[in-house]
Structure 1
Amino acid sequence: MSAVLDARLFTEVFITLFVIMDPPGTVPIFLALTSSMTHKQRARAARTAIFVAAGVILAFGLFGRQLLSYMHISLPALQASGGLLLLLIAMELLTGKMEEPKPGAKGVNVALVPLGTPLLAGPGAIVASMLFVQRSDGSAQDWISISLGFLAVCVCLWLAMRFANVVHKVLGESGTVLVTRIAGLLLAAIAVQLIADAVTAFVQAAG
């Protein structure tokens, strides 16, 4: 088994992406963004968000460096843009606008943006995946270790969102609204931290 899987690399990939993508922390935000959905719509949104996040991270992991270089985009710029987008979503959660149903909405769009990206497949996860691929020596063992580590995190994310309905039933409507506001505050803090880190990187690069 050790010849096929590098346990150390697998563990490093899993822990790094687990901390960055934070499956337990997605539960309150997922509940807030899907508050007007039915049970089936919420389950479909969870699946869609995972597929979108996986697709984005895999694409950037394989071709991210070339794409950013071709478009003359730096990693701090990508990080700052993701932070700004998350900040806008956080403001909607704090003001309750995210909970207002939109005419003709099917209730699954939030699975693409902001759930799939930039919440799950955010700048941190994208950069981490690019770095792991860059560090790889190209062997089958490294690719399998990185892929399985990433897959394990995706399973954890799906389980967290899939059983968010249980949390919703326990909290009730009032509790869900309270969690929504707290999630908005936490998401705003995450967004500001992303922007601050990007600004720091810009300053260091200029110096």
Structure 2
Amino acid sequence: MNIETLLTYLSLTVLGLLPIMNPPAAATVLLGLSKGRDKSYIVDQAKSVGIYLFVALCITFFIGASVLELFNISIPSLRLGGGIIIVAIGFNMLFPKQESSSTTPGQDSIALVPLTIPSLCGPGTMALIISLAAELAIHGDELHMPSVYGGVISGFAVVAGIAAFTLSMAYPLLRALGQNGINAFTRIMGFLLICMGVQFFTVGIEEIVVEINRII
């Protein structure tokens, strides 16, 4: 095991993924969807996100490209699908439905969708990881692959840990804002999520148009 190579790819993985994932943005989504929930619910969701995110990153890295090819899904299509999901979540936050008083905390989970997918492990993250996997496959003979894979997977673990910790810190902010602050914050974040979803959708459309023009 080459420690220098392992640390290099660990650092590159963390530095490459964190800006794209933007865990604080996912924490605001958790904040907006956690009205009426207690601290244990938020912490449980944060822990689950850490596990789900690590698994999702590993799956994307090892078989993501194969899965997309199997179902004939392109990266632009992935962006379009992710954009639609984010827009739907944003509308629910911007125009919340009146919840029944019989709803009990912990009855549902938001850890996998929307927090892990598509908030943290969205189209941009998947595209980057799949590109990394393809690049490593091309230059596999030139690299010490056990160290490379060890560094990348360790980087996934570090990123998942950072995301889980960031989301767990949403509760103090929840208490500081109060109910009225959370209601206003939720609607603001809902509007921003709609904008993000439309951006994903727009980029996906642009990539499809470029592909069509290239074929023509």
TM-score by length of 2: 0.86
Residues of 1 paired with 2:58 and 2:101: CA distance?
32
With over 3 angstroms needed to count, the CA separation of the structure-2 counterparts of 1:139 and 1:181, relative to structure 1, is: same
- Taking structure 1 as reference, are residues 177 and 104 closer, same or farther at Cα in structure 2, changes over 3 Å only? closer
8 Å CA contact 2:34–2:42 kept in 1: the answer is yes
The corresponding residue for 1:86 is: 86
Where in structure 2 are there 5+ consecutive unaligned residues?
none
> Distance between the aligned counterparts of 1:101 and 1:63, measured in 2?
41
Match of 2:124 in 1: 124
How many pairs align? 206
1:122-161 superposed matches below 5 A: 122-136=122-136, 137=140, 139-161=145-167
For the 8 Å contact 1:53–1:121, the answer to whether it is kept is yes
TM-fit CA distance, 1:139: 0.5
Shift of 1:74: 0.9
Name the % identity: 23
Cα distance change on mapping 1:13 and 1:199 into 2, 3 Å: same
Q: 1:3 to 1:111 in 2, by over 3 A?
A: closer
Return 5+ residue gaps in structure 1 as ranges. Answer: none
The SS at the match of 1:36 is: coil
Aligned to 2:187: 181
One-letter identity of the residue aligned with 1:68: L
Q: Provide the aligned C-alpha RMSD in A.
A: 2.1
SS at match of 2:3: coil
Partner Cα distance (2:74, 2:59) in 1:
17
TM-superposed deviation, 1:156: 1.3
- Which residue of the partner structure matches residue 75 of structure 1? 75
* Equivalence for 1:47: 47
SS at structure 1 position matched to 2:110:
helix
Q: In 1, Cα distance between the equivalents of 2:207 and 2:196?
A: 17
Distance 2:160 2:19 in 1: 12
Task: Check if 1:202 corresponds to 2:193.
Answer: no
